[in-house]
Structure 1
Amino acid sequence: MENIIAHLDLDTFFVSVLRRDFPELNGKPILIGGASDRGVVAACSYETRKFGVHSAMPMKLAKKLCPEALVLKGDFESYVRASKEVTDMLEDRAPIVEKTSIDEFYLDLSGMDRFIGAVQFASELRRSVMKETRLAISMGISPAKVVSKMATEEAKPNGQLYLRTDDVQPFLNPLPVSRIPMVGEVTAQKLRNMGILTVGMLAHMPKKLLEKTFGKAGILLWERANGIDPTPVLQHWEQRSHSKETTFDKDTTDVVMIRRLLARMVEGLAYDLRKEHSSTGCVTVKIRYSNFDTHTRQLQITPTTSDQELIGHVLDLFDRLYDRRLLIRLVGIRFSKLVRGLEQLGLFDASSKVVPLYHAMDRIRLKHGERMVGRAYSFDQIRS
C-alpha cells in the first residue's frame, strides 16, 4: 500500500489573519515585527517579497527595500485562535493529524483509497477549511513527508500539487538544492562549491562521498534528494508546560547564587522551547522555604523564547516573592500557555543580532550538551 501524505501550510499566516480581521489591509505591503530599527521581520506579505524582503531580515533593511510597507505588531491571541480553528477542523475530519507549527500540518491519508479517494478527500477538506476560516492554504500530497512539504512550497500561493510515486523524481530533479528542508545557506553554498546545483545532481552523487563530506547529514541529504523519507506522521499532541526545580542540599539565603541558578534554569527551559518551536506566554516562579511553606507568583507575557527577556521576568518575580527572613529549600520555574510556531515572533523585538546568537548557542548545546554554553552570569552556580 502506497503512503499518501498531505502537507498543509497556511499561506503568510500572520498577515492573512490580520487581513481577515481588517479587510482594509488587503493588497497592501505589510511587515510584521518590531517597529524599531533594531527589530527583525517576523512575517511579511507577498507584496513585500518582490522587493527582496523575507522573514528574519533586520527591520531597518526591510523598510529600506520596501519603504511603502506598513509595519504592524503581531496579535498573538488572534494567531492562536485562528490556528486552533484550523487544528480542530482537521482533527475532527482527518484520521491522523500532526501539527508541526502554528501554521503547518501533516495528514496521513494512507489506506483511505479503499473507502474514498484520498486526494479527493484532502482537496475537499482544504476547500472546506479555507471557506470556514477565510484563510488561504497551500497543500502538497505525495508518498513522503519531505516531498509533500516541497510540493507545498511549489504550490504557493494558495494552490495544491499532487505527486504520484512516478512523479516524485521528475518533480525534484530540477529544483535548486536550497529547496530541500534542512539545507541552509551554508550547506547550499558548500554543495554549490562541489558543483551540485540541483536536487537531481545531488540525487546522483555517491552516498558515501556525501557521508564523508557532511557526516550523517550527508546520508539524509541523499535520501531527501531521492524522495526517501520514512518519517511517520505523528498524532498531534502539545505539551502544556515546561518546568524545572532544584532542592538545595542545605537551606540557604544566598540570593546571588540563587539568582544565577534561576538564570541557568531559564536558559535550559528556553532552549527546550526553541527545540520544539514553541513560545511561553506565562512565567511562574516557585519558592519553598525551610519550614516547607510554598509560594508561587506568575506573570502573563507576550509569547517569547528569548533567554534575556525570560530571565528578566523570572528574576523580577523572585525578588517580589522572596521573604528575606527565611531560608530557602527549593526554587522552581514553570513556563506555560505554550504557543507552537512563534519562535521568531517571540524574538522580533530584540536586536537583529540576538536571533542568530541564540541559534548559534543552540547548535553548540545540541552538539556538545546543554551546559557547554551560557551567559557568564549564570555559570557560577550550584549545578541542578
Structure 2
Amino acid sequence: MQTSRIIFHIDINAFYAACELINDPSLKGKPIVVAHNDVLRKSIILSPSYEARAYGIKTTMLVRDAYNLCDKIIVVEPKMDLYQKHSELFFSFLEKITTQIEAGSIDEAFLDVTEVAKKSDPIRLAQFIQSTLYNKYQLPTSLGIAPNKFLAKMASNMKKPLGITILRKREIDKLLWPLEINKMYGVGKKTNLKLRNIGINTIGELANYSNLNLLEKTIGPTFSKTLIAWANGVADDIVDPTKYDEISSISNSHTFDHDQIDTLFIKKSLKSLTNTVSNRLIKRDLKAKTIGITLRDSNFHTISRSQSLNNPINEALEIYEIIEELFDEHYEENTLIRLVGVFTNRLSDANKVEDFQQLSIFDNLTEAEKENKIKNILSNVQTRFGDDIIKKGYYEYKGEKEKK
C-alpha cells in the first residue's frame, strides 16, 4: 500500500516588493507598489508591500486607484533582472533540500519531501526552510504542508506572511470547507460569480453539491469534476520536476502585428492555437494533465496561468473549455495584448491512459461509453479514408462555435 506523500508549497510573500526592499532597505516600513510609473497612473500594480496592502491596495489594481486609497504610496519601477536573481537564489537553496521540486512560478514551488521526511521531522524541516530563506536571503515565505499539491497550495494561503500551515484530508471539513468559494485555488472572479449564482458560496457547498448537470452547464464538465475532487481533498497532482521542460510540453503562441484589445479576436486566436496544440498531442499519441495560457501585454508584462486535471485530455473542445476559462479569469479589461499562447504539460501516452481513465462517482458512465464509441468510429473512418477526412476541433462560422 502506497503511503501518503508529504508535499510542501512554498510561496514568497509579496515577492517583487520583497526584492525591492532588499535592493533599497530605506523602503522598509513604507507603502510601496511595484508598477510602471507612467504620467497618467494607468499602470497595473504587480506587487504591493504589506504596508500598502493595509490600505486595501491589491495586485492588478491601477496605480491611480491605489493613490485614492493612500496618497503616500511609493511607486517603484519593476526590475525583472533583480527578481530573476532572487528567484534563482530561492530555487538554488531549495535544491539543497530535495531534487523533487516543481516551479509554480518565479516565486513559488512545490516540494515532495516524502523521502527527506523519513530522516527529518516535516514541521522542523519547514521551519528550517522558512527561517533560512528569511534570515539568509531576506525572503519572507509562507509554507503549506499536505498530502497533495492542491491542499498544500490552499494551506500556504491560510497564514500570510511568514506562516506554516498543515492541512490533512481528515481536517478539510473544519479548515477548508468553511472558506468562501473565491478563496479556492482555481476559482477566479468570474468562476466565483458563476458558482454563487447557482448557490455555491463556500468550498464545502461545492464539495457536497448534488446537481452535477447544472454545475457542468455552468463551468464545463472537465472543470467541474476537477474542482469537486479538489474540494473533497482528492488530487493525484504529483510534483513533477520536468513540468516546464520543453521535451515534456507541447505549446504554441502568437504575437499580434498590433496590440489587441478586442476579446473576441483574442479568443479566436486562442482557439486557433488550441487546435494546433490538440493536433500535435493527438499526432504524438499524447494527453495532457495540465492546460495553460500565456498573456503578454503592451508593456511586455507576461503572465502564465494553468489548470491541472485529474484525467488527461487532448481534444480541442476540452482544452479550449479550460483555456477560455483561464482567459476570462485572468484577463484585465481594456488591457492591450501583444502575445497569446497555449501550453500543455504533464504529458502521458494516450493509448495507456485511456484504459485507466478515472471514472468517479460524479461521472455519467453512459456518456463516457458514448464518447468512447464515437472516438472508435472516428478512428475507424480515418483508418479507411485518411486522417484528414474528419477533424475534431473549434471552427468559426458567423461568430459561433461549431464542432465538426
| Percentage identity across paired residues of the two chains | 27
The residue number in structure 2 matching 1:224 is 230
1:38 touches 1:352 (CA, 8 Å); kept in 2?
no
Distance 2:238 2:211 in 1: 23
The residue number in structure 1 matching 2:146 is 142
Amino acid at match of 2:218: T
1:214 aligns with 2:216: no
Distance 2:135 2:188 in 1: 35
Give the counterpart of 1:10 among 9, 12, 27.
12
Distance 1:201 1:170 in 2: 13
Q: Which has the larger radius of gyration?
A: 1
2:46 touches 2:60 (CA, 8 Å); kept in 1?
yes
Moved over 6 A (4+): none
The residue number in structure 1 matching 2:111 is 107
The 1:31/1:240 distance shift into structure 2, 3 A limit, reads: farther
Shift of 1:119: 3.1
2:11 touches 2:109 (CA, 8 Å); kept in 1?
yes
Deviations 1:250-295 (A, max 9, x none): xxxxxxxxxx99849xx989x89x9566979xxxxxxxxxxxxxxx
Shift of 1:137: 0.7
Distance 2:16 2:36 in 1: 14
1:212 touches 1:218 (CA, 8 Å); kept in 2?
no
Amino acid at match of 2:88: K
The 1:77/1:113 distance shift into structure 2, 3 A limit, reads: closer
Structure 1 residue runs of 5 or longer lacking an equivalent are: 245-259, 281-301, 307-350, 373-384
Shift of 1:89: 0.8
2:10 touches 2:108 (CA, 8 Å); kept in 1?
yes
1:278 touches 1:305 (CA, 8 Å); kept in 2?
yes
TM-score normalised over the length of structure 2 = 0.62
The residue number in structure 2 matching 1:354 is 335
Amino acid at match of 1:18: E
Shift of 1:85: 0.3
Amino acid at match of 2:232: N
RMSD: 4.0
The 1:305/1:202 distance shift into structure 2, 3 A limit, reads: closer
The residue number in structure 1 matching 2:161 is 157
Shift of 1:208: 2.4
Q: Which has the higher contact order (CA 8 A, sep 6+)?
A: 1
TM-score normalised over the length of structure 1 = 0.65
The residue number in structure 2 matching 1:177 is 181
Report the 3-state secondary structure (helix = DSSP H, G, I; strand = E; otherwise coil) of the residue aligned with 1:92.
coil
Report the 3-state secondary structure (helix = DSSP H, G, I; strand = E; otherwise coil) of the residue aligned with 2:158.
helix
Shift of 1:180: 1.0
The residue number in structure 2 matching 1:290 is none
Deviations 1:29-64 (A, max 9, x none): 011112122211111112222332211112211122
How many residue pairs are counted as aligned between the two chains?
288
Distance 2:139 2:64 in 1: 29
Distance 2:338 2:393 in 1: 15
Shift of 1:113: 3.8
Distance 2:184 2:125 in 1: 27
Distance 2:121 2:87 in 1: 27
The residue number in structure 2 matching 1:132 is 136
1:7 touches 1:140 (CA, 8 Å); kept in 2?
yes
The residue number in structure 1 matching 2:402 is none
Shift of 1:131: 2.0
Amino acid at match of 1:353: N
Amino acid at match of 2:216: E
Shift of 1:112: 3.6
1:57 touches 1:352 (CA, 8 Å); kept in 2?
no
Report the 3-state secondary structure (helix = DSSP H, G, I; strand = E; otherwise coil) of the residue aligned with 2:93.
helix
The residue number in structure 2 matching 1:23 is 25
The 1:279/1:110 distance shift into structure 2, 3 A limit, reads: farther
The residue number in structure 2 matching 1:54 is 58
Using the TM superposition, name which of 174-183 and 212-221 deviates more.
212-221
Report the 3-state secondary structure (helix = DSSP H, G, I; strand = E; otherwise coil) of the residue aligned with 2:95.
helix
